[in-house]
């Protein structure tokens, strides 16, 4: 198969639909309710839930989508409701996932959708409670911490999966991470195992009833933020390149699935989002190939510029260590380079980002096969290509196609190495 043309691509093709219309046109034979979730009109499941409370939806827009074709779809809507107790602006979520007992579910057999108003997530039933400042402060106090005059903020939220709440007061900050109960003990143990070995958030403790881990805040800004500051002191590239090699081997470390292993599922989604460039996607998958590297080393598992905190030119914190496990030597480097390649296209300091990424790449490629690292970077970029669709970025079809082009450049670089 020859190299596909990229000079024209989607960006040069007239787009007959608006972004919202393109989103609304997507279908999934295994999820017949999908068009009703992605519609640019009022979604039926949302309208039904609001109407049951005496209200009506007067404005709505899809704001986030997690869709795995043939399996599930979870959609967030920014909504304005008039009438009834739900009146006002809010974000609602609908999911085709099987909902826990007590969830509000609408639709007939095979097309059922659970719907809730954030933060009342039935998969994270304590979320709304923990967002109450006095409750959050009480939880922290029960674990030996203290927050005076507390304020809470939902810092991160993945519907049905996890949430992070920032609790602040009088100069102090504590983070409460809510996860599904089956993950809580392992998450806590991971932080305990790494405390003192790596600069990771110090765990205060867990509340099993609420499904949360409390962690102290850490100083510094993310590496991404420091890259965006033209006067920010960056760690020497040798530090960032060498950090994966300092990760400890922990008992019961899971094998991290590589970006290459994830390609079939990622490619299936991308073909559905961008059917007119399916040949390009097929070419990328074919030339990235399969993951046949046998060697395993300790790895972060999601090593990128937003996972590292930096202060005065040093790494002051490593975030999201629940992904830490064992992986191929090129996985963490490929992930970082893939993320930086994408961030470079959005950065206010593209030259600074590119220069830093180049130095990292040169250091990693002295020890690891350049072809392997570049294939993994390309695979990660493909994984990020659906990002504009997931957050419903303006012009998402064009931006997603640009990321395919970026991935192709990395594949071609690997083939010529």
Q: What is the pLDDT of residue 145?
A: 92
Per CATH, the number for 221-416 is: 3.90.1200
Q: What is the pLDDT of residue 182?
A: 86
Domain boundaries, the chain: 31-117, 127-216, 221-416
Q: What percent of the chain has pLDDT over 70?
A: 96
Q: What is the pLDDT of residue 7?
A: 42
Asked whether residue 108 carries a pLDDT value surpassing 90, the answer given is no
Asked whether residue 13 carries a pLDDT value surpassing 70, the answer given is no
pLDDT (average), residues 10-28: 78
Angle at which helix 278-288 crosses helix 396-416, to 10 degrees, equals 30
283-312 pLDDT, tens digit each? 999 999 999 999 999 999 999 999 999 999
Asked whether residue 45 carries a pLDDT value surpassing 60, the answer given is yes
The mean pLDDT value of the chain amounts to 94
Q: What is the pLDDT of residue 170?
A: 87
Do residues 309 and 219 make contact, with C-beta atoms less than 8 angstroms apart? yes
> Was domain 127-216 assigned CATH 3.30.200.20?
yes
CA distances from 356 to 300, 345, 407 (A): 20, 14, 19
Q: What percent of the chain has pLDDT over 90?
A: 89
Asked whether residue 8 carries a pLDDT value surpassing 50, the answer given is no
pLDDT band at residue 143 using 50, 70 and 90 as cut-offs: very high
110-137 pLDDT, tens digit each? 789 999 999 999 999 999 999 999 999 9
pLDDT (average), residues 53-70: 98
Pick left, alpha or beta for residue 211 (phi over 0 → left; psi -120 to 50 → alpha; otherwise beta): left
Q: What is the pLDDT of residue 4?
A: 60
Cα distance between residue 409 and residue 342, in whole Å: 12
Q: What is the pLDDT of residue 14?
A: 53
Cα distance between residue 223 and residue 311, in whole Å: 9
Cα distance between residue 382 and residue 385, in whole Å: 5
- Round the CA-based radius of gyration of the chain to a whole number and report it: 22
Q: What is the pLDDT of residue 5?
A: 54
How distant is the alpha carbon of residue 310 from its chain centre?
A: 21
The pTM (predicted TM-score) of the whole model is 0.93
Query: Which residues 6+ apart lie within 8 Å of 328 measured at CB?
Result: 258, 291, 293, 295, 296, 297, 299, 372, 376
327-378 pLDDT, tens digit each? 999 999 999 999 999 999 999 999 999 999 999 999 999 999 999 999 999 9
Q: What is the pLDDT of residue 82?
A: 98
Asked whether residue 15 carries a pLDDT value surpassing 70, the answer given is no
156-203 pLDDT, tens digit each? 999 999 999 999 998 789 999 999 888 899 899 999 989 889 999 999
Asked whether residue 232 carries a pLDDT value surpassing 80, the answer given is yes
Between 109 and 158, the higher pLDDT residue: 158
Nearest residue to 73 via CA among 115, 108, 21, 102: 115
């Amino acid at each position: 198969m020859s190299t596909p043309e990229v000079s024209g691509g989607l960006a040069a093709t007239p787009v007959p639909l608006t972004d919202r219309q393109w989103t609304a046109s997507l279908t999934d034979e295994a999820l017949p309710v999908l068009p009703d979730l992605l519609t640019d009109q009022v979604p039926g499941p949302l309208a039904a839930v609001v109407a049951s409370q005496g209200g009506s939806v007067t404005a709505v827009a899809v704001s986030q989508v997690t869709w795995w074709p043939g399996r599930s779809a979870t959609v967030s809507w920014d909504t304005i409701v008039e009438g009834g107790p739900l009146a006002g602006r809010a974000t609602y979520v609908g999911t085709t996932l099987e909902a826990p007992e007590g969830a509000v579910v609408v639709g007939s057999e095979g097309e059922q959708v659970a719907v809730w108003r954030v933060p009342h997530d039935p998969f994270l039933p304590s979320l709304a409670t923990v967002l109450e400042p006095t409750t959050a402060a009480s939880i922290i106090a029960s674990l030996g911490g203290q927050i005076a005059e507390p304020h809470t903020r939902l810092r991160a939220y993945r519907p049905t999966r996890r949430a992070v709440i920032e609790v602040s007061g009088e100069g102090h900050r504590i983070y409460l991470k809510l996860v599904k109960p089956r993950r809580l003990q392992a998450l806590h143990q991971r932080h305990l195992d790494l405390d003192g070995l790596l600069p990771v958030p110090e765990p205060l403790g867990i509340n099993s009833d609420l499904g949360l881990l409390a962690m102290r805040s850490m100083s510094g800004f993310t590496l991404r933020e420091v890259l965006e500051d033209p006067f920010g002191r960056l760690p020497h590239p040798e530090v960032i390149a060498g950090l994966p090699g300092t990760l400890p081997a922990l008992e019961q470390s899971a094998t991290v699935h590589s970006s290459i292993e994830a390609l079939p599922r990622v490619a299936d989604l991308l073909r559905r989002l961008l059917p007119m460039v399916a040949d390009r996607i097929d070419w990328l998958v074919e030339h990235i190939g399969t993951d046949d590297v046998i060697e395993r080393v300790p790895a972060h598992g999601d090593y990128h510029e937003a996972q590292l905190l930096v202060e005065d030119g040093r790494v002051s914190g490593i975030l999201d260590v629940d992904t830490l496990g064992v992986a191929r030597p090129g996985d963490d480097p490929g992930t970082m380079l893939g993320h930086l390649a994408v961030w470079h296209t959005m950065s206010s300091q593209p030259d600074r980002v590119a220069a830093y990424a180049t130095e990292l790449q040169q250091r990693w490629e002295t020890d690891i096969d350049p072809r392997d690292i570049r294939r993994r970077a390309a695979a990660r970029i493909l994984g990020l290509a659906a990002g504009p669709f997931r957050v419903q970025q303006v012009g998402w079809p064009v931006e997603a196609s640009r990321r395919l082009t970026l991935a192709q450049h990395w594949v071609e670089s690997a083939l010529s190495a």
